[in-house]
Chains A and B, each alone.
Chain A
């Protein structure tokens, strides 16, 4: 402010005819990068993304059809592929709804209430992000294996957890656990609980408050979290590979792709199956982008 006043004063004196346009231009030049630097940065970024992200993705689709369309179709219609899709769907269909419900409950209590140990709980939620999936897998092998008490008890009652569907489901839940909570906590925190209080005063019961006030207010963030959670659940490899032990029965899609690839004779088959996951990834990206736009516009609405 002062600078502008001084400049104006300078401009008025006769000796110091001040060129305002040039001045403003100089300020702009001082605060932005020169044109060539900007161009360079953009080129580098785009080249990097093309080389490391886009090119491999295109390669997957290209390789998938290396044996022609028939080869592609054959790879997708084997019993093993069918089993893998089934296993992935089972794990996802259990893990995502469970984490959705858990995410809602956890973010509700973290976002709307103050209690002792809240910070610790928030850190604990991040454990699956922090630990390598392989370790997660080993952890569950140790927990359910024949050496542990739980493992012995399960064996006595003829319940198979390890190297079977339950283990795949459990590790998927574990690994995808933070996605929904992480998305919801900031939204819940920023909205506070005044609307819920208003609803309560107006005579609504807890269930009505949840369905009609809380849930609609977080729906976009919730959907966003679910999409991320879903993508991760379908793509999970590291933890699953430890607890599934590579049998055709318990292979999920990523495990199946790995098995096909390791067998060397299958040619284009692993890439053909990989297109399934790649397609899911692309759908996820598009949905995510659309949701981000939606969330941004609804936030803008609230600010006004």
Chain B
């Protein structure tokens, strides 16, 4: 087992940054803590590292089954990569990477030659062989980030923790470095946790993603799992684009607009309370989430399916897919994606009217969805 934290709570003054959070990271796994700013993800990472102390009454922190929450930061043996690198500005790249090895007590310290050998091996790994004598100020952002990573790995940490590792880099470098880090992780298989607010980064890089909101972990799962079967409205909303509609659930049918479909034909309604309610004849207000790419566009409503009548407002066709902005007859915004081919076949132009038939939708009880930010379809 890699890293485990149990029932961690942390408050800053009156603000609860973490609320009874537990997380388990398997040995050799790469886990992303994903969430908006203020969701507590960095605080959790810093508690794992020992840079923050959780509130009294919080549970333990384990590294490989050994309890470490009473250990000092310097004894935990973690590698930590800071968002702004925190390289030692007055030291060369070589001295930066060697630092962790040179501060060890004399009897544990490697010989000068061994340290040199190891630093050069790490420099080779981060593809900066000829940069040993440079200073951090002479490196680009991506190079600094790699040096920070090599410095963290030099002490052979028990776990690698990365705080927004690509946050300060420009888009192109970020994508390159992301792929590089994934390859590196596949080679060295070090238990790793990284914090990000970028869903693409989390979904592409991580073995598992922990989606955080307001100091809690909303869902932990493989990227596919959290994306396709979100357990809470927040996760649904946060990962990928999504349309959000008011609807109702009645006698096993879900109503959106004037048309209804059998709730059971849609997958992933893993809401136990809903499935219980679904069969009742009582009318339940619900929130319905539909991803932009999960619409069929039709000129006619379809029987036994939800069909949402809507008018095209704007069409953006620069890109792989065509983005269609629409307004439903009920006045709600609807964003859909379609292919260039379908667009020309159906003549999707501003002003034309269609029935949008969701292939798939997710239903959450309406009460719950009230406190989620309406960031639906903001693309």
Contact = CB atoms under 8 A, between A and B. Distances in A.
Interface of A: 194-195, 197-205, 208, 212-213, 216-217, 301-304
A171 to B, nearest CB: 37
B305 interface: no
Give the 8 A-B CB pairs with smallest separation, nearest first.
A202-B100, A194-B86, A204-B103, A198-B86, A301-B137, A201-B80, A216-B90, A203-B74
A203 B86 contact: no
B73 A199 contact: no
Contacts, number: 67
B151 interface: yes
A201 B51 contact: yes
A202 B100 CA distance: 5
A237 to B, nearest CB: 39
Contacts of A213: 88
Contacts of A303: 137
B51 A199 contact: no
A212 B135 CA distance: 16
Interface of B: 49-51, 73-75, 77-80, 82, 84, 86-90, 99-100, 103-104, 135, 137-138, 151-152, 155
B232 to A, nearest CB: 33
B145 to A, nearest CB: 13
A194 B88 CA distance: 10
Nearest to A208: B103
The listed residue with most B CB atoms (<10 A of its CB), out of A197, A200, A202, A204, is A202
Contact of B78 (A195, A201, A208, A216): A201
A205 B137 contact: no
A198 B80 contact: yes
A204 to B, nearest CB: 4
B73 A205 contact: no
Nearest to A197: B51
Contacts of A217: 89-90
A272 to B, nearest CB: 44
B51 A202 contact: no
Contact of A205 (B74, B80, B135): B74
8 contacts: A195-B86, A198-B87, A200-B51, A200-B73, A200-B74, A201-B80, A202-B103, A205-B74
